[in-house]
Amino acid sequence: MSQLTTTLKQLKLSGLGTTLELRLQEAGANRLSHREFLELILQDEINLRHQKRIELRTRSAEFTKLKTLEDFDWRFNSTVSRKDIYELAAGHFIRHGTDVLFVGPPGVGKTHLAQAIGYEAIKQGFVVRYRSIFDVVADFLSEEALQQRDKTLRHYLKPDLLIIDDMGLKQLPKHAGEYLFEIIMRRYENKSTIMTSNRPTEDWGKLLQDVPTASAILDRFLHHALIIPITGQSYRLKDAVTKRQKTTTGTA
Is the domain of 32 the same as that of 91?
Answer: no
Query: Of 42, 61, 80, which residue is a domain's last?
Result: 61
- Whether 78 is covered by a domain: the verdict is yes
- Whether 173 is covered by a domain: the verdict is yes
Query: Of 35, 61, 87, which residue is a domain's last?
Result: 61
Quote the domain boundaries for residue 52: 3-61
Q: Which of 133, 140, 136, 138 is nearest to 195 (CA)?
A: 133
Q: How far apart are CA 162 and CA 130, in angstroms?
A: 6
- Whether 251 is covered by a domain: the verdict is no
Is the domain of 99 the same as that of 202?
Answer: yes
Is the domain of 178 the same as that of 157?
Answer: yes
Sequence-ordered list of residues with C-beta below 8 angstroms from that of 204, at least 6 positions apart, any chain: 167, 168, 197, 214, 217, 218
Residue 245, pLDDT score? 44
Is the domain of 47 the same as that of 127?
Answer: no
Residue 163, pLDDT score? 98
Is the domain of 50 the same as that of 99?
Answer: no
Is the domain of 79 the same as that of 29?
Answer: no
For the whole model, what pTM was predicted?
0.83
Query: Of 15, 40, 61, which residue is a domain's last?
Result: 61
Q: How far apart are CA 234 and CA 239, in angstroms?
A: 9
Is the domain of 128 the same as that of 178?
Answer: yes
CATH code, domain carrying 127 = 3.40.50.300
- Whether 106 is covered by a domain: the verdict is yes
* Secondary-structure breakdown of the chain: helix, strand, coil percentages, each rounded to the nearest 5: 60, 10, 30
How many independent structural domains does the chain possess? 2
Q: How far apart are CA 112 and CA 102, in angstroms?
A: 11
Is the domain of 32 the same as that of 79?
Answer: no
Burial class (CB in 10 A: 0-12, 13-18, 19+), 124: middle
Is the domain of 55 the same as that of 13?
Answer: yes
119 half-sphere exposure, CB direction, 13 A CA radius? 19
pLDDT tens, residue order, the chain (252 aa)? 477 777 777 777 776 777 888 888 888 888 888 898 888 888 888 888 899 999 999 999 999 988 899 999 888 878 889 999 999 999 999 999 999 999 999 889 999 999 999 999 999 999 999 999 999 999 988 766 667 888 889 999 999 999 999 998 788 888 889 999 999 999 999 999 999 999 999 999 999 989 999 999 999 999 999 999 998 777 655 554 444 444 445 544
